[in-house]
Amino acid sequence: METFYDVMRRQGITRRSFLKYCSLTAAALGLGPSFAPKIAHAMETKERIPVLWLHGLECTCCSESFIRSAHPLAKDVVLSMLSLDYDDTIMAAAGHEAEAIIEEIVTKYKGKYLLAVEGNPPLNEDGMYCIIGGKPFTDQLTYASQHAKAIISWGSCASWGCVQAARPNPTRATPVHKVPGIGNKPIIKVPGCPPIAEVMTAVVTYILTFERFPELDRQGRPKMFYSQRIHDKCYRRPHFDAGQFVEKWDDEGAKKGYCLYKMGCKGPTTYNACSTVRWNGGLSFPIQAGHGCIGCSEDGFWDKGGFYDRLTDIHQFGIEANADEIGVGAATVVGAAAAAHAAVSAVKQARTKGDND
Amino acid sequence: MADQMADQAASQQTAVYVYEAPVRIWHWVNAFAIIALCVTGYFIGSPLSSVSGEASDHYVMGYMRFVHFAAAYIFIIGFVFRAYWAIVGNSHSREIYLPRIFSKDFWDELWHEIKWYSFLVDEPKKYTGHNPLAILAMHLMFVWGSIFMIISGLALYGEGAGMGSWQYQFFSSWLIPLMGQSQDVHTYHHLVMWLLIIFAIIHIYVAVREDIMSRQSIISSMISGWRLFKDNRPSND
Amino acid sequence: MAIQTPNGFTLDTSGERVVVDPVTRIEGHMRCEVNVNSDNIITNAVSTGTMWRGLEVILKNRDPRDAWAFVQRICGVCTGTHALTSVRAVEDALNIEIPDNANSIRNIMQLSLEIHDHLVHFYHLHALDWVNPINALKADPRDTSALQKASSPRHPKSSPGYFRDIQNRLKKFVESGQLGPFKNGYWDNPAYILPPEADLMAVTHYLEALDFQKEIMKTRTIFGGKDPHPNWLVGGVPCPINIDGEGSVGAINMESLNHVRSIINQTIEFVDNVYIPDIIAIGKIYYDAGWHYGGGISGTDALAYGDIPDKPNDFSAKNLMMPRGAIIKGNLNEVHEVDHRDPEQIQEFVPHSWYKYDDESKGLHPWDGVTDPNYELGPKTIGTRTDIKQLDEAAKYSWIKAPRWRGNAMEVGPLSRYLVGYASKHTEFTDQITDTLGALGNAPVSALFTTIGRTAARALEAQWCAYKQRYFLDKMIANIKAGDETTANTESWDPSTWPKEVKGVGFTEAPRGALAHWIRIKDQKIENYQCVVPTTWNGSPRDNEGNIGAFEASLMNTKVERPHEPVEILRTIHSFDPCLACSTH
Ligand code: HEM
Ligand code: HEM
Ligand code: NFV
Ligand code: SF4
Ligand code: SF4
Ligand code: F3S
Ligand SMILES: [Mg+2]
């Protein structure tokens, strides 16, 4: 990878002014002039990949999840693996000094930095439901996306829209890949509300270690973590196959760890690594602690009806009911109509017969 | 035009061979497969009450799903075979696949059929094959409904079989994002079951009714293959 | 020209206007504008919430049993507190009583959140306002080791070699020229006054705390399946207890209880040996240097709802282990009763918020609350609708509503809880306060009503919470021993058993302060759902009478070393641990 020095040279900056930059940097940091050559040396040799981690409309729980990573530790990712140059949640700089960083990275590392996005931008009200530096977040996002090497969409917000995009999506919150003007870059979706910490750090370290992007499925998710459903690897699966279900919270079946299908578990329709990687250092995952999966890594999981219903609601055509309710309703109407029709037919048949006789 | 002449001629006779053996066998195999699919499908969506004891001693959901998948493959193979037969079989074998919607007669007859079902005319016409209303219902509800169930069913199957499976590659991979997510595929697969059930209710009711009230044999035709007419008058009089 | 606010501040906009946007190291998006006079004193402060998602709109017509999952996503930092508040609101509306074990489990989960949130806030969001990591490079590791041993003798990581290793790692990091999160910090600003050895100790603990914090939340993974955003249940908790029956390994059993105990013990150790000593050490240096800014309305108008019910289902002040009450106009001799149901007490105003009411001269009680967005800027705004250079605070200027208690702007949070606890003469809190004031060199009580006091109260509370976790674990084990393994009450689970129309309110003490949700349920669906959140209180814009909110008040009269380097502004704002996603929701 090109070093910082290479980049500066390429932009026509002389060695003299490069060294001057280094001593200024040292001075700005309150370090003695003895630091300048060391900084220069470091800049000429190795580089950590710069990362801009932007935040739109979100709840920051993707960041919270990230710092729960046990292997690697979040500390090691941030100090040794990449250079987290912009992340409003933890960065020291604020205001103009913070905003200046984005511009600096975008110009100095054209095509070389990663853009990580947590949350998503609202499009209604000219984007002013999410303001940064007095301007809509969409400005910051589209600007930073233009020259990124790739975009990582953290969590269900960036990947799909998540809770703020749930009906009626008052702000028109829009997932990253659907934002008008977003740079035409590879987008790696890491959905989940939030994603599993170790999945997040694994995606980052994969890119750094193998110097390539993970293989993605059709929808842009790394196959290594999102190719199977919770249900496919759920340890309660034998109870599912046996037909042993929790019928009521805290019943005998619940105590024995029966399958949560009838309590609305969305494991059969949810692609995520919870039942294998598990959460918080492999300790547990929602189903293990007795609650069904709510499908938090799936597109639009908020709008599929109640979390405790196995059959989900249909909202199209002004209907709000599940398939069986609609089906039984329609079949009853048709059945009744057929019966009525049969009755009329019988009467008519009898009359015709009578006429003929 | 030629068809019409043939029909006209046929209506003068008392018996015509309409449903070839493969169609008849298919019809009944298909009917049983669909019944099995509906029953097992319903209980996949809303399972029976839990059984107690060791998980390893039971396989209730497992069997339910096994029967569903077994019936599904019978249904799929049957459907593919029936589609093939529509090409090589007699003209009646094509009726429900390619309804004669470009023929004016078809629409006239359809109108007549609607009036017959609304008790507005005293007598139906005679048909060697299906009546146009039946054709339309069979085409829209049954043929397309079946295609949807096969595609969505295979897409659901591919989810369990895994990304490497042909079911996943050819079906799940595009259908799931197209419909939104896996849950939506389940929902629509489930919903279209009800469409087929409604078709079956109408279909069976009408078959019985026509058997009694129309001018030709109906149920026995699907057993013997022969269409018998109850009168010798022309179709229209 | 100066304006007098009813709550006692003199606002003067004649000096230079300084804008900080984005305010970083907080949750969510916030903007701050201040006027600074020629002596570099802040004479006017404007705080703006710059995001809105519309959760209250999204919740309409949904199943009340699902609401916790939606509102939990209001915030991933105070993850779970909204969910708990929500299930309490629904249970209140439907008269559902939860079992004893569920109460203990919920309390342990809520307490772990308080500890985690406070710890992460101090080290990872707030420390860089006090600590200069670059200065740490100048430290002699032996001095740091000596300081560590003096300030916290029981902390095992204290050798000079340990600090040298950390310093070397930091050195390598800085020399790389890629400063990551430290980039463009204000590292030569004279507002940073710690000696290098204290800076090195604090930076070391920044890293230790980053490694440790993830352990605290594991109790929630055991009971709730994951963290952030564990699972909750209307009527109790979703995890069953099965101590010795068939299949017990899949439920809460002896192994999981032991695991929880071990996490609690480690947490107590970390808070006692690292967090508290750091707060005292750093706080004392700044306090002794005369940095007493940032009090705002903390000593005069404080509100706490109380939380951590000892017995389940009893939310009266005497059963709540965290204090409950309101203090107004600085009168510590009177702790007022707080009633969430009284339409006259808690009201939200919007004349300066980007929302519409039919009559904006009045406030609305949350049961009748309205959330109808209305983005418009005042005539004195500088810039455009989508490129704001300077806000017009005489008009609407924030996505945060302005909640008021009997018309008063109130501060909420750990400091308010401690103040209410202190005024109620609750010995658990008065003892901790006395000890801390003693450690600060017998400082007066007024030392609490500062930015430093706000930050210290948070640490004290983390300690209180850590020990209370142990109390509830023991309580739960005693209850199981007595034969009760119930964790959920499902009597009213089925919506067809519900009355046609009901309303309820649930509250918690979230890490950042008093939190409540008001719900109306009609025909089994949510008819109206309103959240009034800690940062809504603290970060509130002006109200119809011109009272400024707690953030704004706290910045007033602060001296800034360099007006264009917002170190002091960040320091004081951060002492509230602002959560903007929460505040606007
Ligand atoms: C007439 C045709 C069919 C009917 C009426 C039918 C009905 C159903 C129903 C009601 C469900 C439950 C859906 C839910 O609520 O989750 C279901 C599930 C399923 N069906 Fe079908 N189905 C049909 C054809 C097929 C076909 C052709 C396949 C192809 C293999 C198939 C494969 C599946 C699979 C894989 C599932 C999911 C099983 C599970 O979740 O464990 N189905 N079906
Ligand atoms: C007791 C049950 C059933 C009876 C008595 C029955 C009867 C019949 C009869 C009499 C016909 C010929 C109609 C005509 O000549 O116009 C027919 C055709 C047909 N039936 Fe059924 N049927 C039954 C069940 C089903 C079921 C469950 C299905 C599928 C949902 C089905 C699908 C069809 C189709 C698609 C045709 C058209 C065949 C073709 O033209 O290729 N039937 N049925
Ligand atoms: N303000 C706030 Fe929260 C808290 N604590 C909650 O209610 O942080 Ni996001
Ligand atoms: S995806 Fe979920 S967890 Fe992540 S920021 Fe969005 S709401 Fe929070
Ligand atoms: S608990 Fe959920 S994921 Fe596990 S087997 Fe049952 S339905 Fe599948
Ligand atoms: S709810 Fe989310 S955390 Fe995993 S088990 Fe389901 S995807
Ligand atoms: Mg609100």
User: What confidence score (pLDDT) does residue B5 get?
Assistant: 47
Alpha carbon distance C256, C253 (integer Å): 5
Please state the rounded mean pLDDT for residues A36-55. Answer: 82
- Which region, left, alpha or beta, applies to residue C364 given φ > 0 means left and ψ of -120 to 50 means alpha? beta
For residue A254, the chain C residues in CB contact (below 8 A) are 240, 251
**Picking from A31-40, A46-55, C1-10, which range would have the lowest pLDDT averaged per residue?**
A31-40
pTM of the full structure = 0.94
Residue B171 in domain: yes
- Judge if the beta carbon of residue B141 lies within 6 A of ligand 1: no
In C62-116, where do the E strands start and end? none
Residue B236 in domain: no
Q: Tell me which residue in A300, A334, A345 faces B201 most closely, judged by beta carbons.
A: A334
User: What confidence score (pLDDT) does residue B129 get?
Assistant: 85
Which of A154, A159, A193, A299 most suits a substitution to test ligand 4, by most atoms within 8 Å of the C-beta?
A193
| pLDDT surpasses 70 at C68 | yes
pLDDT tens track for C282-337: 999 999 999 999 999 999 999 999 999 999 999 999 999 999 999 999 999 999 99
B65 CA to middle of ligand 2, Å?
Answer: 26
Residue B2 in domain: no
Which class would CATH give A48-226?
A: alpha beta
| pLDDT surpasses 80 at A348 | yes
Residues 6+ apart with CB under 8 A from C469: C108, C111, C112, C115, C219, C264, C267
- Judge if the beta carbon of residue A287 lies within 6 A of ligand 4: no
| pLDDT surpasses 60 at B60 | yes
| pLDDT surpasses 90 at C250 | no
- Structural domain range at position B192: 11-48+58-228
User: What confidence score (pLDDT) does residue B52 get?
Assistant: 87
For residue C222, the chain A residues in CB contact (below 8 A) are 283-284, 289
Alpha carbon distance C167, A342 (integer Å): 91
Residue appearing with tokens 């059709």: A218
- Judge if the beta carbon of residue A65 lies within 6 A of ligand 6: no
What is each CA distance from A339 to B137, B211, C226, in whole angstroms? 19, 16, 54
Please state the rounded mean pLDDT for residues C220-235. Answer: 98
What is each CA distance from C520 to B37, C61, C503, in whole angstroms? 43, 10, 4
pLDDT tens track for A274-322: 999 999 999 999 999 999 999 999 999 999 999 999 998 888 777 788 9
Residues 6+ apart with CB under 8 A from A296: A156, A192, A193, A270, A272, C229
Buried b (16+ CB within 10 A) or exposed e, B77-109: ebbeebeebbeeeeebbebbeebeeeeeeeeeb
- Judge if the beta carbon of residue B149 lies within 6 A of ligand 1: yes
Q: What is the 3-state secondary structure (H, E, C) of C327-350?
A: ECCCCCCCCECCCCCCCCCEEEEC
C406 CA to middle of ligand 7, Å?
Answer: 17
Query: B198 — contact with chain A (CB < 8 Å)?
Result: yes
DSSP result, A229-250: BGGGG-TTHHHHHHT-B--STT
Alpha carbon distance B20, B7 (integer Å): 17
Domain boundaries, chain A: 48-226, 230-310, 323-356
Domain count, chain B: 1
Alpha carbon distance C455, C216 (integer Å): 20
DSSP result, C537-576: HHT----TT----HHHHHHTT-B-SSTTS-HHHHHHHHHT
Q: How far is C517 from chain A (nearest CA, A)?
A: 18
For residue B177, the chain A residues in CB contact (below 8 A) are 218-219
- Judge if the beta carbon of residue A268 lies within 6 A of ligand 1: yes
- For the CA of B159, the closest atom of ligand 1 is 35
- Percentage above 90 pLDDT, chain A: 78
Please state the rounded mean pLDDT for residues A61-65. Answer: 97
Residue B237 in domain: no
DSSP H helices, C324-450, are: 414-423, 427-439
CB spacing of B184 vs A304 below 8 angstroms: yes
- Model confidence at B11, pLDDT cuts 50, 70, 90, reads very low
- Which region, left, alpha or beta, applies to residue A295 given φ > 0 means left and ψ of -120 to 50 means alpha? left
Q: How far is A353 from chain C (nearest CA, A)?
A: 52
Please state the rounded mean pLDDT for residues C367-379. Answer: 98
H helix or E strand, kind and range, residue C532: strand C525-532
| pLDDT surpasses 90 at A267 | yes
DSSP result, B15-55: EEE-S-HHHHHHHHHHHHHHHHHHHHHHHHHSPPPPP-S-G
Angle formed by the axes of helices C141-151 and C276-288, nearest 10°? 110
Number of CB atoms found within 10 A of residue C37's CB: 14
Q: How far is C583 from chain A (nearest CA, A)?
A: 11
Alpha carbon distance A63, A119 (integer Å): 10
A176 in Cβ contact with A155 (< 8 Å): no
Q: Tell me which residue in C29, C54, C63 faces A170 most closely, judged by beta carbons.
A: C54
- Model confidence at B1, pLDDT cuts 50, 70, 90, reads very low
B98 CA to middle of ligand 1, Å?
Answer: 27
Q: Tell me whether 0.85 is exceeded by the ipTM.
A: yes
Alpha carbon distance A130, A116 (integer Å): 17
Which has more confidence, B125 or C135?
Answer: C135
Residue B3 in domain: no
pLDDT tens track for B170-226: 999 999 999 999 999 999 999 999 999 999 999 999 999 988 888 888 898 899 999
Residue having the nearest C-alpha atom to atom 1 of ligand 1: B34
Query: C22 — contact with chain A (CB < 8 Å)?
Result: yes
Q: C3: which DSSP letter? A: E
Residue B165 in domain: yes
C294 in Cβ contact with C553 (< 8 Å): no
Which has more confidence, C523 or A24?
Answer: C523
Alpha carbon distance C19, A97 (integer Å): 12
For residue A238, the chain B residues in CB contact (below 8 A) are 55-56
CATH match for A230-310 among 3.40.50.300, 1.10.287.1080, 4.10.480.10, 1.10.340.30 = 4.10.480.10
| pLDDT surpasses 80 at B105 | yes
The CA-CA-CA angle for residues A25, C182, A144, to 5°, reads 95
- Percentage above 70 pLDDT, chain A: 93
CATH number at residue B169: 1.20.950.20
Which has more confidence, B105 or C136?
Answer: C136
- A135-136 and A313-314: which strand pairing? unpaired
By C-alpha distance, which of B204, C221, C303, B184 is closest to A305? Answer: B184
For residue A89, the chain C residues in CB contact (below 8 A) are 24-27, 125
pLDDT tens track for C305-314: 999 999 999 9
- For the CA of A294, the closest atom of ligand 6 is 1
* CA of B18, nearest ligand number: 2
Residues 6+ apart with CB under 8 A from B93: B20, B23, B85, B86
H helix or E strand, kind and range, residue C142: helix C141-151
Best-predicted range by mean pLDDT among A25-29, A241-245, B124-128? A241-245
Rg from Cα positions in chain B: 21
CB spacing of C218 vs A294 below 8 angstroms: no
C155 in Cβ contact with C273 (< 8 Å): yes
pLDDT tens track for C462-489: 999 999 999 999 999 999 999 999 999 9
DSSP H helices, A1-136, are: 4-10, 15-28, 35-45, 61-66, 74-76, 95-108
B218 in Cβ contact with B4 (< 8 Å): no
Q: A219: which DSSP letter? A: T
User: What confidence score (pLDDT) does residue A235 get?
Assistant: 97
Q: What is the 3-state secondary structure (H, E, C) of C444-485?
A: CHHHHCCHHHHHHHHHHHHHHHHHHHHHHHHHHHHHHHCCCC
